[in-house]
Chain A
Amino acid sequence: MALVTVRPLIHQRLMPFFRLQARLATRLNDRAKGFVCMMQEFFYFAMRSFRSIVMLPRYWSDTLTQMSQSGTESIPIVLVSSIAIGCLITLEVGNQLAQLGGKSLTPRATALSVIREMGPIVTGLMLSARVGARYGSELGAMKISEQIDALRAFGTDPIAKLVMPRLVAALSMFLPLTALSIFIGLVGGAVVASSYHHIDSSVYWNAVLNPLVVKDWLVAFLKPPFFAIIITLVCCYNGFNARGGTVGVGAATIKGIVVSSCFVLIANFYISKLVLENL
């Protein structure tokens, strides 16, 4: 008998808690559903972007413009960041190795970190910021001013016209930019090696270039195409989904840069791991 009266009381007391729990569950459910829908949409967006590469001849001039804007105009920032990284790595690694009595290993250590990791990753992050910001804000502004809808309303596929040229431009320009970044990083390393660690230039370059194997180049040059795909698709997708005026364009741009930078870092790790483990 007592149980019968106590039970509703407990129930009543706990009701707000149950309600909160239910609300939380609904929210989480909505979030999860939203996330799955977004992933589905993104996948479809990516498929359409790749499929529209068949229309490259038609949008050749747009592609050339994008190549110059995202490729040629990115050279200064790639130069500055890679020379800084090259110098810094040689300085720090050289100091550490000197303490262990292995200063002569400095060039090899510099070469490995610049070629395999720092060159591609610094380029990837710089391009994520520079090129990704450009893609996200341009397309976001076009979205909120209804220019993307206008394209569709008058029969032009906005993905073929706007995303595909950017994708092709990034795919073709990121590789040479990474090569340039690696070269300049190594040059920066050479300067510090000779001026600070007193390692002769010819010794440095011999130690850098001779032990290099195919695997090192493979790690370096497999990464840029993946970065190009990640940066272009993530930033363009966010631009295409911008909503809510100028604030919305800002938010879409930031989201594009943050998400693509994270994926660049993750992709970098897995590509290195895969190649180094399997070759």
Chain B
Amino acid sequence: MIEFKNVHLQYGDHAVLQGVSFVIPDAKITAVLGPSGSGKSTIIRLMLGLIKPNAGEILVDGVNISHMKEKDLFPIRKKMGMVFQGNALFDSLTAEENLAFFLRENLRLEEAEIAKRVRDMIHFAQLEGFEDKLPDTLSGGMKKRLAIGRALIFGPSMVLFDEPTVGLDPLSTKRILDVIHDLRTDRGLGAVLVTHLIHDVETVADSVLILFHGKIVFNDVPEKMQECDHPFVASFLQHPEDID
């Protein structure tokens, strides 16, 4: 479970988050919806402790991580797999090496065990035959699946997706959303799905947070969005393509 308590974040004199509070439960898919630049990626980075809030508390499974030291954060981060907006794959490493990289770096495992986990993950990401390819030579959907595979490599209980379907064709989008859905139903993994696409929310999300001008303006199940009378939510539902 991830909990934000009155979190404020400011870059210079630009207040990105102004007192944001919410709870993200385990084993559920929670979407964070908002226009570009509203601070969606910032929220995910705060969850991982990559940046620190100016005020407020961030609790992961009851532990306050807002002022934690980098080396103490690893056990917390291990519980959360992260799929970055631009995948953030290591471009000089092959698909297989990208998956093995953090196993070698951070867990003391036998090479045989690493190879087995990597094989399983290649199978999961449906990348058989592409093990030796560099990320640049893979298609957008494949890169995203590889990034998801990497996010799962430590066996997390929650996966954070930053705009996972942006720039993908409809078929790849469906495949990625199916993966997110299956992770919850088959493995019981929770997910935070940051997006600005209403389609993603309607397809997989169990609940949705809407972020606007640094505040949460809606926090409920997607079906209730129609009843929300906040002007941004209303206009967004009417013209979802004009979200920005």
Chain B residues with CB under 8 A of A150: 82, 84, 88, 90
In the complex, what distance in Å separates the CA atom of A152 from the CA atom of B52? 14
Contact A156 to B88, CB < 8 A, known contacts A149-B45, A149-B50: no
Q: Give A61 Cβ to nearest chain B Cβ, in Å.
A: 11
Q: Does B70 touch A at the CB level, under 8 Å?
A: yes
Closest to A59 in B: B105
> What separation, in Å, do the CA atoms of A247 and B127 have in the docked complex?
34
Interface residues on B, range: 20 to 34
Interface size on A, residues (CB 8 A): 12
Residues of B participating in the A interface, judged by any CB pair closer than 8 Å = 45, 48, 50, 70, 74, 77-78, 82, 84-86, 88-91, 102, 105-106, 150, 153-154
In this assembly, does A155 line the interface, its C-beta being within 8 Å of a C-beta of chain B?
Answer: yes
Given contacts A153-B77, A155-B78, A157-B70, contact A146 B106 (CB under 8 A): no
Contact call B85/A146, Cβ cutoff below 8 A: yes
Residues of B within 8 A of A146 (CB): 84-86, 88
Rounded to whole angstroms, the CA-CA distance of A149 and B90 in the bound complex is 12
- A265 CA to B11 CA, complexed, in Å: 35
Interchain CB contact under 8 A, A156 and B106 = yes
Q: Is the CB of B105 within 8 A of A145?
A: no
Could you say which of B84, B88, B105 contacts A155, with CB atoms under 8 Å apart? Answer: B105
Mind listing 11 A-B residue pairs with CB under 8 Å? A145-B91, A147-B89, A152-B48, A152-B50, A152-B70, A153-B48, A154-B106, A154-B154, A155-B77, A155-B102, A161-B105
Of the candidates B48, B70, B90, B105, the one whose C-beta lies within 8 Å of that of A147 is B90
Could you tell me the distance between the alpha carbons of A53 and B86 in the complex, rounded to whole angstroms? Answer: 31
Q: Which residues of B contact A152 (CB under 8 A)?
A: 48, 50, 70, 77
Which positions in A face B, CB cutoff 8 Å?
Answer: 145-147, 149-150, 152-157, 161
Q: Is the CB of A149 within 8 A of B88?
A: yes
Kindly list chain A residues whose C-beta atoms are within 8 Å of the C-beta of B85.
Answer: 146
- Verify B70–A156 contact, CB threshold 8 A: no
Beta-carbon nearest neighbor of B75 in chain A: A155
Give the CA-CA distance A266 to B105 in the complex, in Å: 39
Establish whether residues B86 and A145, one from each chain, have CB atoms under 8 Å apart when the complex forms.
yes
For the complex, what is the distance from the CA of A145 to the CA of B143, rounded to whole Å?
A: 14
Among all A-B residue pairs, the 8 with the closest Cβ atoms: A146-B88, A150-B88, A155-B74, A154-B102, A155-B106, A146-B84, A153-B82, A156-B105
The smallest beta-carbon distance between A27 and chain B, in angstroms, is 12
CB distance from A25 to the nearest CB of B (A): 16
> Which residues from chain B contact A157 at a C-beta distance below 8 Å?
70
**In the complex, A237→B102 CA distance in Å?**
24
**Which residues does chain A contribute within 8 Å of B78, judged by CB atoms?**
155
Chain A residue numbers with a CB within 8 Å of B102 are 154-156
Chain A residue at minimal CB-CB distance from B154: A154
Q: How far is the CB of A41 from chain B (nearest CB, A)?
A: 14
Q: Tell me, in angstroms, the Cα distance from A9 to B106 when the chains sit together.
A: 71
- Closest Cβ–Cβ distance, residue A137 to chain B (whole Å): 13
CA distance A156 to B150 in the complex (A): 14
Q: Which residues of A contact B74 (CB under 8 A)?
A: 155
Give B71's nearest chain A residue, CB to CB.
Answer: A157
A147 to B135, CA, bound (A): 13
Task: Report the nearest B residue to A58, measured CB to CB.
Answer: B105
With a CB–CB cut-off of 8 A, which chain A residues contact B153? Answer: 154
- Smallest CB separation, B61 vs chain A (Å): 17
Q: Would B105 and A153 count as touching, CB distance under 8 A?
A: no
- Measured CA separation A130–B102 after assembly (Å): 30
Complex: chain B residue closest to A156, CB-CB: B105
Cross-chain contact A154 with B77 (CB below 8 angstroms): yes
Additional 11 contacts, C-beta under 8 A, given A150-B84, A154-B77, A154-B150 = A145-B88, A145-B91, A147-B89, A150-B88, A152-B48, A154-B82, A154-B106, A154-B153, A155-B102, A155-B106, A156-B105
Residues of B within 8 Å of A154, CB to CB, are 77, 82, 102, 105-106, 150, 153-154
A147 to B86, CA, bound (A): 9
Alpha-carbon distance between A216 and B222 when the two chains are bound, in angstroms: 76
Q: How far is the CA of A263 from the CA of B197 in the complex (A)?
A: 49
Tell me which residues across on chain B come within 8 A of A161, comparing CB atoms: 105
Enumerate chain A residues within 8 angstroms of B86, measured Cβ to Cβ: 145-146
Q: How far is the CB of B175 from chain A (nearest CB, A)?
A: 22
